[in-house]
Amino acid sequence: MARLQLTNVTKRYGEMKAVDDVSLDVANGEFLVLLGPSGCGKTTTLRTIAGFVEPTSGSVRLDGKDVTDLPPWKRNAGLVFQSYALFPHLTVSQNVAFGLEMRKIPKADMPARIAEALRLVRLDHLGERLPRQLSGGQQQRVALARALVFRPDILLLDEPLSNLDAKLRQDVRVEIRELQRKLGLTTVMVTHDQEEALTMADRLVVMSEGRIRQIGTQHDLYERPADRFVADFVGRSNFIDGTIEAPGRFRSGGGLEIACGEGRTGTATLALRPERVAVLGSDAAATDNRFEGRVEFLSYLGAAIDLHVRISHAERVIVQLPNRPENAPPKIGDAVNLGWNRETARVFQD
């Protein structure tokens, strides 16, 4: 268990910067998730922490000790790969034993340590199987046991759930998180799946094009996204482009006058969460903004219903309604009134 610090880490491949000036401080026992689309540098960052990528500049420190120049086999980091990377010619027990052997743990202590690790992932009965005789979910747990058994300073997870089917993935998320919390293990996970990231993380790091766009808790990222990219990548947003004509008065590209919060005059984009826009009944209390629109498309999602409502020739917004028996959803072609208060929309300006 340890604190992990990355200071101004940059990795160049020729002209391309795969990781661009990334600094992170992961507290002891914290679960940090690197989130971003493919090619955003999150995996390169993780591989830098693991020691497989040597940064062009910057440093990696583990528990205060500079490990930037240490090879992977001297870093004491437990790593779980996307493909699990189990040794195909070794049994489950032998796979788990590998890290112990490398650390010259006395032979006599090994069976107990292996059994303990396998019990942790609830696979104590499968020690003699070969990896190919296991299901994907079981292989994933062996990989986890193998990474935990030697009590690493830090646990690194590289898209560990992307090869599991959707239902299993939801269970394993919770399982890994509870295990990590129980062991108090500093953990960095890489994923492109925002739901996974939001479920598991203490803090999230949103990356794109090698750079950190924002670091924060789920609440920070969702309620106060730093820029348009984060607002779009974490959760959903409606974006309305236009200009702020005067403080608090926004004119959309489609000509609507919208009351907004902060922001200086000039070009701006409003970001509006679909579930924060209300469909107003005739008796509704006044809101700062009220626009009449027409439902053009409707998706029935079970727990919620998405309405795509045209409010001007240039703007169509998605509104998410909770699916409750008492509010019958409108139909395609219906006229509806949408309303939101000025603080509901975030303003992004360059």
Partner 1 sequence: MTGRIGMRMLGRLALNGAATLSMAYLLLPLFFVTWLAFFAQEIPSFPPDGYSLKWFRAVPGNDRFVSGFILSLQVASIATLLGISIGVPAAVCLVRMKFTGRELVSSLLLLPLVVPGIVLGIALYVFHVETEILTEIPILGSIGGLIAGHVLIVIPWTVRLVTASLVGMDRAIEEAAQSLGADRFTTFRRITLPSILPGMVAAAMFGFISSFGNLEMSLFLVGPGRTTLPIAILQYLEWKIDPTIAAVSVLQILFIGVAMLLTDRFVKISRVV
Q: Which residues bind partner 1 (CB under 8 A)?
A: 50-52, 71-79, 81-83, 85-89, 98-99, 102-103, 143, 146-147, 150, 156
Query: What count of residues does the chain have?
Result: 350
| CB 133 to partner 1: min, Å | 16
Choice between 73 and 300, CB closer to partner 1: 73
Choice between 77 and 114, CB closer to partner 1: 77
How many angstroms separate the CA atoms of 330 and 307, rounded? 9
Choice between 85 and 314, CB closer to partner 1: 85
* C-alpha torsion sign, points 198, 63, 84, 122: negative
| CB 91 to partner 1: min, Å | 13
How many angstroms separate the CA atoms of 159 and 79, rounded? 11
Distance from the Cα of residue 185 to its chain's centroid: 19
**DSSP, res 133:** G
Q: Give the angle subtended at the CA of 324 by the CAs of 321 and 329, to the nearest 5°.
A: 55
Q: Are 3 and 25 in contact (CB under 8 A)?
A: yes
| CB 103 to partner 1: min, Å | 6
Q: For residue 37, which of 206, 158, 224, 204 has the smallest C-alpha distance?
A: 206
Choice between 81 and 239, CB closer to partner 1: 81
| CB 216 to partner 1: min, Å | 29
Choice between 113 and 249, CB closer to partner 1: 113
How many angstroms separate the CA atoms of 46 and 68, rounded? 13
| CB 144 to partner 1: min, Å | 12
